[in-house]
Structure 1
Amino acid sequence: MQPAELSSATQDYLKTIWQLGEWSPQKVTTTTLASRMGLAASTVSEALKKLTEQGMVTRPSYGVVELTDEGQAIAVKMVRRHRLLETFLTTKLGYAWDEIHDEAEVLEHAVSEKFLDRIDALLGHPAADPHGDVIPSPAGEIAAPTAVQLADVRGPVAVEVVRVSDDDPATLRYLAGVGVVPGTRLRVLPDSGLPGMVAVSIVAATAASVVRIGVLAAEAVWVTRV
């Protein structure tokens, strides 16, 4: 089955269920899904009943939601659409990385597979979007890096930013402003000097300087040790 055979709402539900489990070990529940989508729990529960009937999700225990193989295949295709479009918007149309999520949310339901393939080729088959999230291959393969949240790293240690969550545009603007973006190498310092802060130095900076990042922003940054 192709995404175009399903409603936009169904596409959104499947994609969101998959994304909730991409970086979190926690089970996806009706409550977390409703919170993420900004909908009432009753609305989500009714939609999940229909998705279960369509063979897209299963509910193995009370409140828990899991994708079937078919549901996951559709979800990954939608994720691929979204992330390719985000990359296109920044690379070719000059959008900032905090502007692209909402635009891609609209476009992903309208473009054809042929259009997506053309964009993929035009961009040189990128492996990740501007936030560092892996772009699934046409076959649905995903080679996600092993990474942890910056907030959980204890220094001194050298790390590289591999992903920044796009949940909050204000956080994206802040992190871009201090130079913390995918590909940036940081040295996490042992003591920030301030409670609720993570202190890092940017390895490639022309002048040695310490950047203090609030814990909430640090939770949006995923890094791997180098």
Structure 2
Amino acid sequence: MPSTQSPAIEDYLKTVYAHTEWQPDPITPSGLAGALGVAPSSVTEMVKKMAAQGLVQHVPYGAIRLTDAGRARALAVVRRHRLIETWLVREMGYAWDEVHDEAEVLEHALSDRLLEAIDARLGRPERDPHGDPIPAADGSLVSEPSIRLDEAPAGHVGRVIRISDRDGAVLRELDDAGVGPGCELRVTDAAGAPSVIITVEGTARTIAREAAAGIWISA
């Protein structure tokens, strides 16, 4: 059967998890409201509900943190989302900038049986089209040391690990520039300029600093 959990709670848990997946600072109620596009009062009520269910820890005006149970629930949703994105790209002909919104809908509707069949057909992938790790059914996932491109020093050589999917236009620009998960690059100029200059396969590319902040490369 499809997930019987509340889609709203699943979205909240996934957002709390995503906030700290690539940086250490926990999310605040105002940050959560902004990320979800809802009123602060809605966040307050939902956080109270999730805390009562043992899914988050929160004190008034403080940060929101997942409990072990909340993290397990969040990872289950993240697994669904990223497997669906991978399936849409590999099997359904979608581009990597087109899959996020589709996955947002389908992650609440797919049965566990169908999700397992998709995972098996895809060969148990460890990363989605954007390079984000796909949690295994037991909640484990593969990670490796990384650094944000906009924080990498000149001369740093690394492999692109993941790229944020928050902006489809940026994904299309990076695709045109030959920058994607798995590609090797060298940072040639990063000294506080509005752009980061990299070299990919011998060709210099200029990446806006805002876009570079959404690219993680191997440390």
Query: With structure 1 as the length reference, what TM-score do the two structures score?
Result: 0.92
RMSD (Å) for aligned C-alpha atoms:
1.7
Secondary structure of the corresponding residue to residue 4 of structure 1: coil
Per the TM alignment, residue 191 of structure 1 is displaced from its structure 2 partner at its CA by 5.8
Q: For 1:167-186, list aligned pairs within 5 A.
A: 167-186=166-185
Deviation sequence 1:149-179 (CA, Å, 0-9, x none): 1000111121110100011111111111111
Deviations 1:111-141 (A, max 9, x none): 0111110000000000100000000011100
Distance in 2 separating the partners of 1:41 and 1:168? 24
The corresponding residue for 1:209 is 203
Unpaired runs of 5+ in structure 2? none
For residue 159 of structure 1, give the secondary structure of its aligned residue in structure 2: strand
Q: Cα distance, 1:143 vs. partner?
A: 1.8
Give 4+ residue runs of structure 1 displaced > 6 Å after superposition.
Answer: none
The one of 172, 181, 193 aligned to 1:195: 193
Identity %: 43
Instruction: Please give the secondary structure, in 2, of the residue aligned with 1:189.
Output: strand
Alignment deviations for residues 50-103 of structure 1 (CA, whole Å, 9 cap, x no partner): 111111111146331111111111100000000000000000001011100000
Gaps of 5+ in 1: none
2:54 equivalent to 1:55: yes
The 5-angstrom pairing of residues 20-169 of structure 1 reads 20-60=19-59, 62-169=61-168
CA contact 2:152–2:190 (8 Å) conserved in 1 = no
Structure 1 CA distance for aligned equivalents of residues 169 and 144 of structure 2: 25
Q: TM-score, normalised by structure 2?
A: 0.95
Residue 198 of structure 1 contacts residue 213 of structure 1 at CA under 8 Å; is this kept in 2? yes
Cα shift at 1:209: 2.3
